[in-house]
């Protein structure tokens, strides 16, 4: 489910004259979930030339080579974060086992034809290992009730992830203006995962309570993978004859009554929208 491959289909003609090597399919996944294995493809057409070697590099360091005229034909070299499955790897495909955060980097495939032309074909792409949190973001610092005139000062904090999640605050369904936001640097954990915090700071006015309800919502997303929402919904209740105020901690908004603007309660409505594709 999480193996999302961004296929880079590249057709490259070697710049040198004569016969030219051609890339049929170069494929390095844009994102690889931590712990999964991944396949890199460098499928070329020799156009009648003979292959001398295929070499793979990560960040400029060679980690795999295929040379049909040598024995063994396949060789791997130690590069941090790269764990080649030698059985499964060939001249056109390299399989990496158990991605770690250190597997992220720039991968290059270099195809070299035999003498006399020594035509070469080079293609590269960036691979990023992602670690997607299973937990929803958390809202902290909320009071149980707010009145128009009160200052709202709350934080939304994502679960640790790599890369860091992007947080968005919404008031009554609208993205919050940047001047009400407090941007904090992501907190980097020892395991390399990052935790994002986005503060929301504003003075509530009557305009923030259409139909006597103010709804505050925070979403966390990482590219297309992770889309979870925490929603804080503030409700007003009109105590008909008593001054008692009622609190509700469930998810239906605007449930109660035609209300007085005096008594406000806060319900925390958790709404997990999980769009893992
Ligand atoms: C929000 O988070 C920041 C950074 O961790 C912290 O300094 C601040 O006190 C928090 N504010 C609230 C209202 O929790
Ligand atoms: C996250 O989910 C919401 C609600 O389903 C949707 O409107 C939004 O476009 C999604 N965002 C991403 C990045 O998928």
Helix H, strand E, coil C: the string for 32-83 is: EECCCCEEEEEEEECCCCCEEEEEEEECCEEEEEECCCCCCCEEECCECCEC
Q: Which atom of ligand 2 is nearest to the CA of 275?
A: 14
Q: Whose CA is nearest to atom 7 of ligand 1?
A: 184
Q: Kindly state the average pLDDT of the residues 209-235.
A: 78
- Say how many C-beta atoms besides its own lie within 10 A of residue 163's C-beta: 17
Q: Mind listing the pLDDT tens digit for each residue in 27-79?
A: 999 999 999 999 999 999 999 899 999 999 999 999 999 999 999 999 999 99
- Say how many C-beta atoms besides its own lie within 10 A of residue 182's C-beta: 12
Is the pLDDT score of 258 beyond 90?
no
Q: Kindly state the average pLDDT of the residues 182-204.
A: 94
Phi, psi of 211 (to 5 degrees): 50, 30
167 lines ligand 1 (CB under 6 A): no
263 lines ligand 1 (CB under 6 A): no
Confidence class of residue 13 from pLDDT cuts 50, 70 and 90?
very low
More confident residue, 231 or 144: 144
CATH number of 138-236: 2.60.40.10
CATH 2.60.40.10 range(s) for the chain read 18-130, 138-236
227 lines ligand 2 (CB under 6 A): yes
pLDDT at 267: 28
Which bin fits 102, alpha (ψ -120 to 50), beta or left (φ > 0)? alpha
Q: What is the mean pLDDT of the chain?
A: 79
Who's near 188: CB < 8 A, 6+ residues apart?
194
Confidence class of residue 7 from pLDDT cuts 50, 70 and 90?
very low
**Cis-peptide, bond into residue 163, ω within 30° of zero:** yes
**Third-level CATH fold of 18-130:** Immunoglobulin-like (2.60.40)
pLDDT at 19: 62
In 189-245, where do the E strands start and end? 194-195, 197-203, 213-222, 226-236
Q: Say which ligand is closest to the CA of 185.
A: 1
pLDDT at 235: 59
More confident residue, 273 or 8: 8
Residue in this structure with the two tokens 């992770």, named with its chain if needed = 226
Which bin fits 118, alpha (ψ -120 to 50), beta or left (φ > 0)? left
What span, in angstroms and rounded, lies between the C-alpha atoms of 89 and 180?
52
Confidence class of residue 236 from pLDDT cuts 50, 70 and 90?
low
More confident residue, 149 or 253: 149
Tell me how far the alpha carbon of residue 229 lies from the centroid of ligand 2, in angstroms. 9
pLDDT at 108: 98
| Least confident window among 12-21, 53-62, 222-231, 247-256 | 247-256
Tell me how far the alpha carbon of residue 227 lies from the centroid of ligand 2, in angstroms. 6
What span, in angstroms and rounded, lies between the C-alpha atoms of 231 and 168?
11
- Angle (nearest 5°) at CA 164 between 158 and 170: 50
Tell me how far the alpha carbon of residue 154 lies from the centroid of ligand 1, in angstroms. 8
> How is residue 122 annotated by DSSP?
E
pTM above 0.75, yes or no: no
166 lines ligand 2 (CB under 6 A): no
> How is residue 23 annotated by DSSP?
E
- Angle (nearest 5°) at CA 172 between 170 and 177: 45
Confidence class of residue 195 from pLDDT cuts 50, 70 and 90?
very high
């Amino acid at each position: 489910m999480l193996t999302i491959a961004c296929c880079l289909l590249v057709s490259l003609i070697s710049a040198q004259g004569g016969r030219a090597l051609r890339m049929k399919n170069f494929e390095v996944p844009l994102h690889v979930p931590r712990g999964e294995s991944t396949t890199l493809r460098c499928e070329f057409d020799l156009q009648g030339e003979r292959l001398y070697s295929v070499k793979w590099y990560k960040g400029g360091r060679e980690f795999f080579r295929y040379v049909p005229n040598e024995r063994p034909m396949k060789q791997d070299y130690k590069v941090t974060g790269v764990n080649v499955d030698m059985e499964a790897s060939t001249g056109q495909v390299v399989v990496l086992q158990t991605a770690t955060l250190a597997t992220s980097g720039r991968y290059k495939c270099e195809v070299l034809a035999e003498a006399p032309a020594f035509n070469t074909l080079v293609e590269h792409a960036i691979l990023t290992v992602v670690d997607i949190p299973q937990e929803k973001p958390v809202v902290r610092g909320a009071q149980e009730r707010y009145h128009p005139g009160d200052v709202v000062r709350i934080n939304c904090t994502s679960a640790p992830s790599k890369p860091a999640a992007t947080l968005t605050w919404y008031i009554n369904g609208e993205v919050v203006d940047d001047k009400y936001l407090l941007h904090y640097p992501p907190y980097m954990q020892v395991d390399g995962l990052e935790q994002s915090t986005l503060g929301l700071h504003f003075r509530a006015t009557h305009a923030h309570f259409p139909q006597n309800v103010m709804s505050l919502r925070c979403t966390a997303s990482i590219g297309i993978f992770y889309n979870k929402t925490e929603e804080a919904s503030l409700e007003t209740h009109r105590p008909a004859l008593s001054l008692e105020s009622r609190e509700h901690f469930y998810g239906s908004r605007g449930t109660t009554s035609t209300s007085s603007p005096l008594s406000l309660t806060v319900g925390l409505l958790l709404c997990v929208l999980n769009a893992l594709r």
